[in-house]
Amino acid sequence: MQKNDVIVVTGAAGFIGSYLTGYLNHLGFDQLILVDDFSTEKKSANLAGKKFLHKIHREQFFDWHNSHPGTINCIFHLGARTNTTEMDYAVHKKLNLDYSKLIWELCTSNNIPLVYASSAATYGNGELGYTDSHEIVSGLQPLNPYGVSKNEFDIWALQQKNTPPFWAGLKFFNVFGPNEYHKGRMASVIFHAFNQIRENGQVKLFRSHNPNYTDGGQLRDFIYVKDVVQVCVWLMEQQPASGLYNTGTGIARTFRDLVKAIFTTIQIPEHINYIDTPIDIRDKYQYFTEADMTKLHKAGYTHPFYSLEGGVKEYVNEYLAEGKYY
């Protein structure tokens, strides 16, 4: 990417999209086209102070492109309906599958490189493991409509004979970090735990309903958002083999480790209460996720990832403690 390239970021007002926008500004890129539904007031602070050319509503983006042909140099497609408790598949199909197909087709017909957000939710319970092999994609069984919609697009993308000049679908694992204040229930466990600790000196974690895991011993691959956007930009700049890439640290950690890191950071004695996992998500609950990062490393990515403790410390001290944005 060149500094004067026109770069599209969809989902630009959201958590990862706004962080990527700020990170691109940090790297010297300001010819940005930000695409989203900008009507949600709670998201507006995510873009405060950011440099960009235009903000375009996602429904108007394709008309805008048709009247500005040849303008765009690359697209980061991060826009999606990410609510894993939204059970109406039609909602996810419209935004996560159908809209993504339109983005793909725009990139294909205009020779535009594409990096898009898939999800580790595609792996379901992990019966087939957590490898980003293309061979297993059609056999994956996601646990909710969100995961299904993401996997359906991955399947569709892999079937296409006509493709962008480069494309990468990134299977984001458990991402945390600045600019998720608007996400409500869908915000990271770190965000919720920090607020619980600050309010009453203790934190609630889900009790294990699986005999193979202790309470708080459920495992996730937590990845700091700064690492996620560095992977996005690296792939767009280096353009190794097109395909799906896991985006996690490759090291699963427990929720107990996570909250312990918060207590340590804010120097408060550890106090954890275990509560039952809500019935509406209990049978869809993942007890273990861990990204196999072999493919990305073989492609040449060598930048070290934040440790859980390192990411939590930076997130809490530099952002959450003072309500700051990136």
Return the active site residues. Answer: 146, 183
CA-to-CA dists, residue 257 to 76, 172, 178, 222, 309, angstroms:
32, 20, 20, 11, 8
Nearest-5° angle of CA 175, CA 222, CA 255? 120
- 139 neighbors 124 (Cβ within 8 angstroms): no
Structure tokens, 233: 């930009």
- What are phi and psi for residue 93, nearest 5 degrees? -60, -45
**From CA 252, how far away is CA 55, in angstroms rounded?**
37
CA-to-CA dists, residue 28 to 24, 47, 63, 301, 304, angstroms:
6, 16, 28, 21, 22
- What are phi and psi for residue 240, nearest 5 degrees? -70, -155
Q: Which residues in 57-89 are b (16+ Cβ under 10 Å) and which e?
A: ebeebbeebeeeeeebbbbbbbbbbbbbeeeeb
Structure tokens, 207: 């009790």
Residues comprising the chain, all counted? 326
Nearest-5° angle of CA 85, CA 229, CA 130? 55
**From CA 35, how far away is CA 55, in angstroms rounded?**
6
